[in-house]
Chains A and B, each alone.
Chain A
Amino acid sequence: MSTPRRGATPPRKPPISAARRENRAGLAFVTPTFVVVLVVVIIPILWTVLLAFQNAKLVDIQQNGLFGRWTLDNFEQVFGSPGFWSSLGTTLAYTVGATAGSVVLGLVAALALRRPFRGRGLLRAAMLLPYVAPVVAVSFVWEVALSPQYGIVNEWGSKLFGWDDPIAFLSTRSYEVGFLGLHFDIPLALLTVIAFETWRYFPFAFLFMLARLQAVPDSLEEAARVDGATPTQRFRHILLPQLMSVIALLSVLRFIMTFNKFDDVYLLTGGGSGTDVVAVRVYDFLTSRFDVGAASAQALVLAVVLMVLLGVHFKFFGKKMQEESA
C-alpha cells in the first residue's frame, strides 16, 4: 500500500494501490505496440476474412464497401478446382521435408561443431551465410549453378558421374532413376526446393541447438563416460533428452514459417513443375487475375489448415512435451 505524499496533491478519495498503478503503466506501455500490430496485422487479417466471403475483384472493391454482397463463391471455387488439393499436398510435402531437413542438418552441425577446433569461429560464422544472405541473391545463385546450359553442377555431374544429359533440376516434375534394376520416378523439382530450404534454414536450427548444447554440464557426460557409455549411448541418453525441448520448438517454428513460405519457391521455380505451394497460388490469383476474393479465400484456408495442424500437434504432443521437461 502506498501512501500519497503530503502536500504534493490534495488527498484523493481512495489511494491508488501499487498493483493498480502497475496495471495502468503496463497498459500505457503496451498501447503503442498494440496499436501498430492492430493496424498492420489484425485489421488486415480480419479484412481478409471479410474479403474471402465477398465477390471482390480488385477494381470493384471501391464500390463494394466493407460489408455486404456476401457469397460463398470463392470457397466453392477454391475447393472445386482440382489444383487446390494437389497444391495443398505439395505444400505439406514441402513443409515436412524442409522442416525435417533443416532441423536434422542443424543438429548434425551443432554436434560436429560442439568441441573447439582451429577455425571453428570462422566456420561457424560462414555457416550462417545462407541464413543471412538475401533470398533473391542465393536463389539466383542456385538457379545459375543448377542450370542445364551453363550450370556448374551439370558440368561436374557429367565430368565426374558421367551424366548423359544435363538435368534440369528446377523444371523437371518427375525424374526417372534406376537403382539396382528398379526404376522409379522422383519429384525432382520439389526435392530441389526442399534441399534449398533445408540449406537456407539449417543455420537457424544450428544456432539454437549449439546454444543449448553448450549449456549441458560436462559432468553429466563425464560420468556417463566413466560408466562406459559409448558415444551413441551418451547422445541417446544424455544429449538428446536435453535437446528435446529445443528440437520440438524449432520443429514447430520452422513448420509454421515454411508452410507460409512464398519467396523461396516463387524465385526458384515460379511454382511450376510440381512445386505449386498454396502461397504461390495466392500470389497468382492476386496478381494475374486480380481476384482478391479468391486469393483471400485461399489464404484463409491455408491459415485454417495450419491452425488445425498445430492444434492437433499440441493436443497430442503438448502434454508429452510438458511431461518430458518436467
Chain B
Amino acid sequence: MSRAFRMTRTQFEEGLFGVLRWVVIVFLALITIVPFYYMLLLSLKPIDSLLLDPGQLWLSAKDFTLSTYESVLKPTSEGGQGFLSMLLNSALVAVATVLLTLAAAVPGAYAVSRLKFFGNRQVGALFLAVYLFPATLLAVPLFVMFAKMGLSGSLVGLAVVYIAQTVPVSIYMLKNYFVTIPHSVEEAAAIDGASRLQTVVKIILPLALPTLMATGLYVFMIAWNEFLFALLFLAADPGKWTVSLGLQQLANGIEVSKTVLMAGSVVLTIPVVVLFFAAERLLTEGLTAGADKG
C-alpha cells in the first residue's frame, strides 16, 4: 500500500469523523434537551392552545399561564391536586431513606474495604447478588409482610423498603473511597490510643465527607424517583402519595388536563435536577470511581 494512499485515507477519515462528531453532538443535545424543554413548554400554556396547535415549539405571550402550577400545587380541599403535600411526603421518604441507608451502609463498606475477616469476600458478593433479584420479587413478600404489620400505608415503611434498593450501590460508592484513604492515618490514630470505632467516627468519616454527600445525594435521587413500591404500598391512601405516585394516578384518569399534569412533572423533576446539578462533579466522580482502572 503506497504512502500517498494511506495519507488520503487518514485525511478522509479525519474529515469524516470531524463532521460526524458534530452531528453526534447536535443529535445528543437535541434528544436530551428537547424532551425537557417540551415538558416545560406544555406546563406553561393552557390545554386549548396545545390541542389547537400540537406542533408549536415555542410559547406565544398571549398563551403564557401559570394557572397550571397553581392548580397542581393547591390543596385538594381548594380544588387543586395537592402536589405541595405530596412534595412533602416525597421529601420525608427520601430524607429518611438517605439517613437509614447511610447508617446501614457505612459500617459495612468500611469493613469490606479495610478489614480482613472471615467471610469478607462472600459479603461483598452477597451485596452484589441483591441486584440479581427483581424488585418485583422483593415486592411480593414485602407487600404481604407490611400488610400484616399494618405498615403498608406508611411512609416510614416505604423508606425501610427503599434500603433494599440503595444499600448495594451505597456500599460500592463508599468502599471505592475508603480504600483510597491511607492506612497510615488509622495507624497514627491507633498509636494515639483511639479505638477502631473512634477512628472511624473521628477520622475516616470527616475525610470521607464528600463521598458521604455524593452517596447520600444518589440515594436521595433513587428514593425520590422510585415508583413501584410507592404504587404497591400507598396507592390506596391518597393522603400519603409521593409526587411520582400522585402524578401517575392522576395521569391515569381523564379529568385533569395534560398541561396541568405537565406542571406536575416539572414540579416532580425540578428538585432532583437542581440537587444533581449542584453536585454534578461530586456525583459523577463518586459513581465512576474505579471505572478508569479498567
Using a CB–CB cutoff of 8 Å, the interface residues on chain A facing chain B are 19, 22-27, 29-34, 36-37, 40-41, 43-45, 47-48, 51, 58, 61-62, 108-109, 111-113, 117, 123, 125-130, 132-138, 140-145, 149-152, 154-156, 159, 199, 203, 207-208, 210-212, 214-215, 228-232, 242, 245-246, 253, 256-257, 259-260, 262-263, 266-267, 279, 282-283, 286-287, 292, 295-296, 299-300, 302-303, 306-307, 310, 325
Q: Is the CB of A199 within 8 A of B288?
A: no
**Are B35 and A30 neighbours in the complex by a CB distance under 8 Å?**
no
Interface SS of chain B: helix, strand, loop or mixed? helix
Contact of A136 among B13, B14, B24, B247 (CB under 8 A): B247
A47 to B140, CA, bound (A): 9
Q: Which residues of B contact A25 (CB under 8 A)?
A: 111, 115, 117, 196
Contacts of B293 in A (CB 8 A): 215
Which residues B221-267 have CB closer than 8 A to chain A? 221, 224-225, 227-228, 232, 243-245, 247-248, 251, 258, 261-262, 265-266
- Cβ-defined contact, A48 with B265, below 8 A: no
CA distance A138 to B264 in the complex (A): 12
Chain B residues numbered 41-85 whose CB sits less than 8 Å from any CB in chain A: 42, 50-51, 54-55, 57
- A30 CA to B118 CA in the complex, in Å? 11
The answer to whether B96 has its CB under 8 Å from any CB of chain A is no
CA distance A24 to B116 in the complex (A): 9
**B29 & A287 in contact (Cβ 8 Å cutoff):** no
Q: Is the CB–CB distance between A299 and B134 below 8 Å?
A: yes
Smallest beta-carbon distance B232→chain A, Å: 7
**Closest Cβ–Cβ distance, residue B161 to chain A (whole Å):** 7
- Residue pair A22, B54 in contact (C-beta under 8 Å): no
- In the assembled complex, which residues on chain B have CB atoms less than 8 Å from the CB atom of A156? 55
Is there an interface contact between A141 and B32, defined as CB atoms closer than 8 Å? no
Q: Which of B271-294 contact A (CB under 8 A)?
A: 272-273, 276-277, 280, 284, 287-288, 291-294
B72 to chain A, nearest CB (A): 12
Q: List residues 97-124 of chain B with CB under 8 A from any CB of chain A.
A: 103-105, 107-112, 114-120, 123
Contact B276 A132 (CB under 8 A): yes
Asked whether any CB of chain A lies closer than 8 Å to the CB of B188, the reply is no
In the bound assembly, the distance between CA atoms of A156 and B38 in angstroms comes to 14
Q: Is B212 an interface residue (CB 8 A)?
A: no
The yes or no answer to B167 lying at the interface (CB within 8 A) is: yes
- 23 contacting pairs across A/B (C-beta < 8 A): A26-B118, A29-B110, A30-B107, A33-B104, A33-B107, A41-B130, A44-B141, A44-B142, A123-B28, A129-B32, A133-B36, A135-B227, A136-B227, A137-B244, A137-B268, A150-B51, A208-B291, A211-B292, A242-B294, A266-B228, A287-B232, A296-B137, A307-B132
Which of A26, A111, A232, A299 interacts with B111 by CB under 8 Å? A26
Q: B2-16: which residues lie under 8 A (CB-CB) from chain A?
A: 3, 6-7, 9-10, 13-14
Inter-subunit contact A144/B115 (CB<8 Å): no
CB distance from B109 to the nearest CB of A (A): 8
Known: A26-B120, A136-B244, A303-B133. A40 touches B54 (CB 8 A): no
Q: Which residues of B contact A266 (CB under 8 A)?
A: 228
At the interface, yes or no: B184 with Cβ under 8 Å from chain A?
no
Q: Which residues of A contact B280 (CB under 8 A)?
A: 125, 128
B171 CB-CB contact with A under 8 Å = yes
Asked if residues B55 and A40 are in contact (CB atoms below 8 Å), the reply is: no
Q: Which of B133, B261, B269, B288 is within 8 Å of A133, CB to CB?
A: B269
Complex alpha-carbon distance, A202 and B258, angstroms: 28
Question: Of B144, B164, B258, B266, which is in contact with the most chain A CB atoms at under 10 Å from its CB?
Answer: B144
Verify if B208 is at the interface (C-beta below 8 Å from A). Answer: no
Chain A contacts for B139, CB-based, 8 A: 282-283, 286
Q: Is B21 an interface residue (CB 8 A)?
A: yes
* B111 in contact with A137 (CB, 8 Å): no
Asked if residues A128 and B276 are in contact (CB atoms below 8 Å), the reply is yes
The one of B14, B126, B144, B291 in contact with A61, judged by C-beta atoms closer than 8 angstroms, is B144
- Shortest CB-to-CB span from A54 to chain B, Å, is 11
Q: Once bound together, how far apart are the Cα atoms of A313 and B156, in whole Å?
A: 39
